Amino acid sequence: MNLMPRTLGTQLVAVTAAAVLLSNLAVAAWFEFGTERQNELALMDRVVDRAASTAMLLAAIPEKSRAAAAEKLTTGIWTFSIHSGPYTPAPMDADEIKLAARVHALLPSDKARYPVSVDKLNQPPQPQTRAAIRTPSRAIQFTVPVVGNTQVIATFYRPESSPWPTELFVAAMVAIVAASIAAAYVARRVTRPLSELASAASIAARGGPPPHLEESGPLDVREAARAFNAMTDEVSRTLESQRQLLSAVGHDLRTPITAMRISLEFVEDEELRDRLSHNLDELQELTEAVLSAARGTGGELKRNIDLSALIESICADLDDLGEPVSCRMEDEPAPLICRPNEIRRAVRNLVENAVAYGGKASIHLAKGDGSYEIMVDDEGPGIPVEDQHRVFEPFVRLESSRNEETGGTGLGLTLVKAIAEGHGGGVTLENRAEGGLRARLRLPREAAAA
């Protein structure tokens, strides 16, 4: 599971907050460990000095009062006791030898001839004194010979390490919040123009007029917005020039075709006249199909319609013409904001293809999540999978697998695809398991509830 935030703004804030947190932790750890090392050195100096000075103090007290004096000197972290008898220093590690040498160096010359022993206790017993304020985890025991066979045993119980101060965490949290607010402000300046750019590009991809973007934000974002505005302006001018050119060409083509039809009436050979008339019909059909496909999603305005009623009217028109068409609609209306004449043309092209190549057409309207799906089924031979995308290209006709007597210009599915994509949808073909072909025309419902 990817835990990284999805949007650029939240990623920028998260990365900034993480960077500030890690930097604060690193600085805090650096100072804390440095301070801890300095504190450890100072603590050992005090411990060594306390062990040596207390031993010398007890050595100066009469023998019969030493035990009582040692008990009086005992505190919550120090215990002192007197031991009399032979004394043999225990083996010591390197750190213990260093501490013993430091204590030995502080003793006066008459006491310095006796060896000092140090023992680090990792699990010391609880000091038997009311002054004990906590259970120690470590202790250091010094055995210092003072007079003859008398030794002072001084045990230092290390207190638990203090936790990091609360002020450190508060300062870190304040730094994180401040940096996150600054990052959010910067992210908003960066991501808002990018979001507007993505929205405008989405509108353009659905066939709508893209809005003019405000050229604001950082330099790179301003350059992207400026380039997008220039691109959409150029595309709009190109499309408008194309529409004007096609309208002029269509008008100019219709005029000679009409003149040829009039001249055809003067041809006396009936067989020649029929052949020429058939050729003119094909030329007329091809001209209209090319103009319709080239216009694509032209200048028709969108309005709110009931898609179910539109499909039912197409079925009724074709049924009146004697075409084998059946419809299966749901009882509820299907509101859709679209260019209705284009949707009518697309659905009719699919239905006429199904009748022409599959013998009959069955239409079903389904409501999906956020879209409508118009399914047109036929009972024909279907289309090979490798050719199901190629048939949407202009002038492509699969005569080897379709009825050779159907004719057609090869532009019907091209026009359907242009209309579907102009409405933000799409069209696909698939072979049915029970035989025949199914065409799926998907139209988004994003503006259906107007």
- For the chain, the domains span 8-158, 199-295, 299-444
Q: What's residue 440's pLDDT?
A: 93
Tell me, yes or no, if the pTM score tops 0.85: no
Query: From CA 167, how far away is CA 163, in angstroms rounded?
Result: 11
The domains spanning 199-295 and 299-444 adopt the same CATH topology: no
324-334: per-residue pLDDT in tens?
999 888 778 88
pLDDT, tens digit (0-9, with 9 covering 90-100), for 389-420: 888 877 676 654 444 455 555 677 888 888 88
For 328-359, letters b (16+ CB in 10 Å) and e give ebeeeebbbbbbbebbbbbbbbbbbbbbbbbe
- What integer pLDDT is reported at residue 37 of this predicted model? 73
Which of these CATH numbers, 3.30.300.20, 3.40.50.720, 3.90.180.10, 3.30.565.10, describes 299-444? Answer: 3.30.565.10
Identify the band that residue 246 occupies on the pLDDT scale cut at 50, 70 and 90.
low
> Coil, strand or helix: which one is 427?
strand
pLDDT tens-place string over residues 364-387: 998 888 889 999 999 888 888 888
Q: Which CATH architecture has domain 199-295?
A: Orthogonal Bundle (1.10)
Q: What is the mean pLDDT of the chain?
A: 78
Q: Which of 371, 383, 372 is nearest to 429 (CA)?
A: 383
Q: Please, which contacts does 194-203 make with residues 24 or more away whose CB atoms are closer than 8 Å?
A: 194/8, 194/221, 194/224, 196/225, 197/221, 197/224, 197/225, 197/228, 200/228, 200/232, 201/228
| Confidence at residue 437, expressed as pLDDT on a 0 to 100 scale | 92
